[in-house]
Amino acid sequence: MTRADIEKQLAEHAAGFAARDATRLAATHTVDGTFESPAAGLVRGRAAILDVYRYWYKAFPDFTLTWESPVIDTVPVPRAGVFWSFEGTAAGPFFGDVRPGAHVKMSGAAEYTFSPDGIVSVRHIFDFSAILVATGVLKIRPS
């Protein structure tokens, strides 16, 4: 795959986020692809990946994901790394009862691998505990 091929797949994936369309997002993954994150763990297959996207859009119906310029490598495996920013308002539920209306902002990163058929794998890294605190799911006691 070429850099242009990867850029095209990333653009379609970003367009799915911009459209807030879980089905369109899942369609950018291969049928047997994987999705890994601190929140979802490791899920396999497009149908399971679709469920992850639907879950996040139900919990944060207004969320936006903003990407920085990707770092792309074509050898030995077609892949890209992307730093991103997430922002949204909790509508609930989200791994427990949320404080509806809680505004959440966080940053993270993702590593994508590609094939001509789509995204083969994506691995997200972010502070999951912080988002649980921000939404009121996780309570912390002052020291």
94-95-100 Cα angle (round to 5): 30
The answer, yes or no, to whether the previous bond of 76 is cis (omega within 30 of 0) is yes
Q: Which residue has the higher pLDDT, 23 or 142?
A: 23
Average pLDDT in the 19-31 region?
97
Rounded to whole angstroms, the Cα distance separating 32 from 12 reads 19
Assign 141 a pLDDT band (cuts: 50, 70, 90).
Answer: confident
Amino acid at residue number 115: S
Assign 97 a pLDDT band (cuts: 50, 70, 90).
Answer: confident
Return the C-alpha torsion angle 16, 110, 52, 64, nearest 10.
-50
pLDDT reading at 143 higher than 80: no
Q: What percent of the chain has pLDDT over 70?
A: 100
**Who's near 97: CB < 8 A, 6+ residues apart?**
136, 137
Sorted by where each starts, the structural domains of the chain and their CATH numbers stand as 3-134 (3.10.450.50)
